[in-house]
């Protein structure tokens, strides 16, 4: 009884210390805190942000994080990152997660520390199992570090990471035997039979290795692990809990009980790893590999030779501090936390998918070797081409963007279809979403002078992808100039997105002197007009016979609507390559402004879209929680009224972002929602990736300094910024008045100063002239 009472007192003293430390952190003046200190990884873990709170380094292959609930795939949307803030129990800690995906997978190699008796089933929030209750008062989350107390076991769990290794430290009560439960069945977006095969081996030196192959979002995906511990194993038990009757088992291998079996294979595996009573914390290092167990061991040897949790945590912090220091921001506490958290989320993907020797698994599901670049994956291209990847061309152009370019080109060569990635992770294609948006990411980078030696190879890959008729009804698009809705339920969205991608190919070919390709794709870039109904001013689904489908409702979204995660109200503006052409088609500046206002100001019952995933953050028919709307507030600039953009941006930022768990209204989509906030807070946005221009909005920070990779600095100042002074009176670039309503990549990378003079009343003359407006294809022709 005395020992039990002492243990309980120790536990509650530990909890009290954690709470006091967290309170002290919250009371520390935020304006004096570093960028690292104001990042809040909990942002987006509630509502529909789908972020995870666990440990990761920038662009790391491991995302070690808690999973609070696992559901069948058709009920898993809310748990796309494994963790949901309102949950009260933790299943365990798995090695892989997406940040903000709208669909999901991963949650590989779930590990749960257990003190005392081990249950083999997870149970649920009310039924005993191996899951444990926890409290947010005991949670700590910083970039590269996460900690929580598992109340049912009185175990303190701490997580940190290197690029390929997740490192955990578990402090067990001293009077109960310590165990780790490895559940190879658990998976985000799970279903019976998802695990096609798996393996666990206990080596004679105490190393535990294994693998599993799953049929999920990326079918046939294989992942391997190797795990070591700071204390010796005192025993183990290996189980195959596959519930289905298997007609043929083959012949049984060595081992008469789970406890004397050294290796096991099957589809329902669990392992209990036992350490006896521990009087010191247990450190666990788990490396992963996309290729095999031997490479997982090599990754473990390279990145965690000494199982030193504190040194690993310190290194992760130093890496994050260095990476976040690329921008210095002065702003009020909430804005500063929002923006730096946005930067943190933008730096999580694309993630490394390669062993230390360069081995990786490509879209052909074969092993290849990257030479001279890091192979990266987790390519949510439908989202990230808009702002997340253009941001990387400013912050990390050589190290990250060029590796991304080379990874996509390697994937095109290795693809069984000979095309660039669409939505790829861990090298395997998922075929999720629409368009061929690797193309604008390549075009944007080439236009900014990156990876010049491979520019011709990139153009070849871009054309091969855009001309591949079997993908996404491109064959019909090439024949008709649009995708017909009687052949394709997302036809209208595909047509306008293909047309934009085609424009980026035209611009790339023009830059490289290939005018035949440039002229062919410039004509294709006009195809948006083929689905634009001039009678009502909407992009509409069109039939193969050339007629628009009737009846037409611009608010219709979802299945067979003709649109992807949206409706005509969002997609009728998607002409980034030629917004002036759109204005002319609508009938002039005032027509565009009136239609934009009708979209923003419309009264909409959100229940109308309750069954359509990713429609969130609604302001009228503007849907900030999904990407097709992201450039829309900037379109007032194209119509000569930048002050209206400034109003709309204030409305969006105030309603869509908060430094709280529910602070993202929609999926962060591997950094795109966060990149939008980052660009917008600085005062400009890449409406047309590939044009090398950033359309001016208004800043939301008092000042910001970009420490550019070329050694120069670009400083943004917002004079007299306040809630009342929400309008831009004048803009100066390097001390000279800027009449144009955009800045170029060249001007930004040259360093200098962009100064916004803020005021209470709108300045209606600035940006009103046609000459001041951003690039449009029909106005400006090919870019120089």
Residue 172 CA to residue 744 CA, distance in Å, equals 56
Question: With contact defined as beta carbons under 8 Å apart, do 427 and 290 qualify?
Answer: yes
Task: Give me the DSSP letters along 465-519.
Answer: HHT-TTSTTHHHHHHHSS--TTT-TTHHHHHHHHHHHHHHHHHHHHHTT-HHHHH
Model confidence at 25: pLDDT above 50: no
Q: How confident is the model at residue 74 (pLDDT cuts 50, 70, 90)?
A: confident
List pLDDT tens digits, range 332-362. Answer: 999 999 999 999 999 999 999 999 999 999 9
Q: What are phi and psi of 546, to 5 degrees?
A: 95, 0
Distance in angstroms (rounded) separating the CA atoms of residues 653 and 664: 11
Residue 605 has pLDDT above 60, yes or no: yes
Q: What is the pLDDT of residue 587?
A: 97
Q: What pLDDT shows up at residue 384?
A: 98
Q: What is the mean pLDDT of residues 85-103?
A: 97
Q: Is the pLDDT of residue 555 over 70?
A: yes
pLDDT digits (tens, 9 = 90+) for 287-311: 999 999 999 999 999 999 999 999 9
Res. 246 pLDDT band, cuts 50 70 90 = confident
Q: Note the pLDDT of residue 5.
A: 36
pLDDT in tens, 624-646: 999 999 999 999 999 999 999 99
C-alpha closest to that of 701 among 685, 686, 716, 712: 716
Is the separation of the CB atoms in 354 and 598 below 8 Å?
no
| Best CA proximity match to 629, nearest among 562, 564, 558, 580 | 564
32 confidence band (pLDDT: 50, 70, 90): low
Spatial neighbors of 512 by CB under 8 A, at least 6 apart, are 455, 456, 459
| Residue 398: DSSP 8-state | I
Task: State the average pLDDT over residues 759-769.
Answer: 97
Residue 22 pLDDT > 50: no
CA angle 292, 293, 296 (to 5 degrees): 95
Mean pLDDT for the stretch of residues 527-555: 98
- Of the pLDDT bands very low, low, confident and very high (cuts 50, 70, 90), residue 124 is confident
For residue range 561-585, what is the model confidence (pLDDT) as tens digits?
999 999 999 999 999 999 999 999 9
| pLDDT of 15 above 60 | no
pLDDT of residue 23: 44
Region for 65 from its dihedrals, namely left if φ exceeds 0, alpha if ψ lies in -120 to 50, beta otherwise: beta
Q: Which tens digits make up the pLDDT trace of 484-516?
A: 999 999 999 999 999 999 999 999 999 999 999
* Residue 4 in this model has a pLDDT that exceeds 50: no
CB-CB contact of 556 with 612 (8 Å) = no
- 725 pLDDT above the threshold of 70: yes
Asked if the model's pLDDT at residue 125 lies above 90, the reply is no
Query: Which residue from 41, 45, 102, 98 is spatially nearest to 68, judged by alpha carbons?
Result: 45
pLDDT confidence of residue 72: 82
Please name which of 224, 249, 234, 259 lies closest in space to residue 62, comparing C-alpha atoms. Answer: 224
Determine which of 405-409, 609-613, 731-735 has the lowest per-residue pLDDT on average: 609-613
Per residue in 185-215, pLDDT tens? 999 999 999 999 999 999 999 999 999 999 9
Is the link from the previous residue into 157 a cis peptide, with omega within 30 of 0? no
- What is the rounded average pLDDT for all residues in the chain? 94
């Amino acid at each position: 009884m005395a020992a039990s009472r002492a243990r309980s007192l120790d536990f509650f003293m530990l909890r009290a210390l954690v709470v006091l430390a967290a309170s002290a952190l919250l009371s520390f003046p935020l304006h004096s805190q570093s960028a690292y200190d104001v990042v809040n990884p909990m942002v987006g873990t509630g509502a529909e942000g789908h972020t995870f709170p666990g440990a990761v380094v920038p662009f790391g292959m491991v995302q070690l994080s808690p999973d609070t609930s696992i559901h069948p795939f058709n009920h898993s949307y809310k748990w796309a990152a494994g963790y949901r803030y309102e949950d009260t129990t933790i299943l365990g800690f798995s090695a892989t997660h997406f940040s903000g995906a709208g669909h999901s997978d991963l949650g590989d190699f779930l590990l749960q520390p257990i003190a005392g008796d081990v249950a083999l089933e997870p149970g649920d929030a009310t039924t005993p199992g191996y899951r444990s209750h926890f409290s947010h008062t005991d949670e700590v989350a910083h970039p590269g570090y996460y900690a929580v107390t598992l109340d049912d076991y009185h175990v303190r769990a701490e997580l940190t990471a290197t690029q390929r290794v997740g490192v955990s430290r578990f402090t067990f009560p001293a009077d109960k035997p310590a165990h780790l439960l490895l559940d190879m069945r658990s998976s985000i977006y799970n279903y019976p039979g998802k695990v096609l095969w798996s393996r666990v081996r206990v080596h004679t030196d105490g190393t535990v290795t294994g693998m599993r192959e799953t049929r999920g979002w990326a079918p046939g995906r294989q992942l391997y692990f190797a795990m070591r511990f700071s204390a010796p194993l005192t025993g183990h038990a290996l189980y195959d809990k596959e519930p289905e009757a298997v007609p043929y088992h083959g012949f049984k291998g060595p081992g008469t009980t789970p406890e004397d079996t050294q290796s096991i294979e099957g589809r329902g595996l669990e392992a209990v790893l036992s350490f006896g009573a521990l009087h010191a914390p247990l450190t666990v290092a788990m490396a992963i590999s996309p290729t095999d167990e031997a490479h997982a061991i090599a990754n473990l040897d390279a990145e965690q030779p000494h199982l030193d949790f504190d040194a690993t945590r310190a290194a992760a912090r130093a890496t994050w501090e260095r990476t976040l220091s690329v921008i210095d921001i002065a702003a009020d506490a909430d804005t500063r936390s929002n923006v730096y958290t946005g930067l943190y989320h933008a730096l999580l993907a694309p993630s490394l998918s390669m062993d230390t020797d360069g081995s990786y698994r490509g879209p052909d599901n074969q092993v290849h070797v990257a030479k001279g670049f890091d192979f990266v994956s987790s390519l949510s291209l439908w989202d990230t081409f808009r702002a997340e990847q253009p941001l990387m061309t400013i912050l990390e152009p050589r190290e990250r963007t060029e590796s991304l370019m080379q990874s996509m080109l390697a994937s095109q060569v290795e693809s069984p279809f000979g095309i660039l990635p669409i939505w790829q992770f861990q090298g395997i294609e998922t075929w999720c979403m629409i368009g061929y948006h690797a193309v604008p990411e390549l075009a944007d980078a080439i236009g900014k002078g990156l990876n010049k030696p491979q520019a011709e190879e990139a153009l070849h890959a871009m054309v091969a992808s855009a001309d591949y008729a079997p993908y996404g009804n491109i064959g019909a698009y090439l024949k008709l100039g649009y995708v017909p809705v009687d052949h394709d339920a997302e036809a209208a969205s595909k047509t306008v997105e293909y047309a934009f991608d085609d424009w980026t190919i035209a611009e790339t070919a023009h830059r490289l002197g290939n005018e035949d390709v440039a002229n062919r794709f410039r004509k294709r870039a006009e195809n948006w007009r083929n689905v634009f109904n001039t009678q009502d001013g909407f992009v509409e689904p069109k039939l193969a016979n050339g007629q628009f489908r009737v009846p037409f409702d611009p608010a219709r979204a979802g299945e067979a609507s003709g649109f992807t995660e949206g409706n005509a109200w969002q997609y009728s503006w998607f002409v980034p390559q030629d917004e002036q052409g759109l204005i002319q088609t609508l009938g002039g500046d005032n027509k565009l402004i009136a239609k934009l206002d009708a979209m923003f100001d419309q009264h909409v019952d959100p229940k109308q879209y309750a069954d359509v995933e990713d429609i969130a953050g609604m302001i009228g028919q503007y849907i900030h929680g999904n990407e097709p709307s992201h450039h829309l507030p900037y379109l007032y600039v194209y119509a000569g009224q930048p002050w209206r953009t400034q109003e709309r941006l204030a409305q969006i930022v105030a309603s869509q972002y908060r430094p709280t768990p529910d602070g993202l209204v929609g999926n962060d989509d591997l950094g795109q929602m966060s990149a939008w906030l980052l660009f917008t807070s600085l005062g400009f946005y890449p409406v047309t990736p590939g044009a090398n221009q950033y359309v001016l909005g208004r800043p939301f920070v008092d000042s910001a300094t970009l420490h550019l990779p070329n050694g120069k600095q670009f400083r943004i100042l917002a004079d007299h910024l306040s809630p009342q002074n929400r309008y831009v009176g004048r803009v100066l670039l390097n001390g000279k008045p800027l009449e144009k309503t955009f800045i170029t990549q060249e001007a930004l990378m040259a360093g200098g100063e962009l100064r916004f003079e803020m005021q209470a009343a709108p300045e209606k003359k600035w940006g009103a002239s046609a000459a001041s407006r951003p690039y449009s294809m029909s106005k400006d022709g090919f870019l120089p």
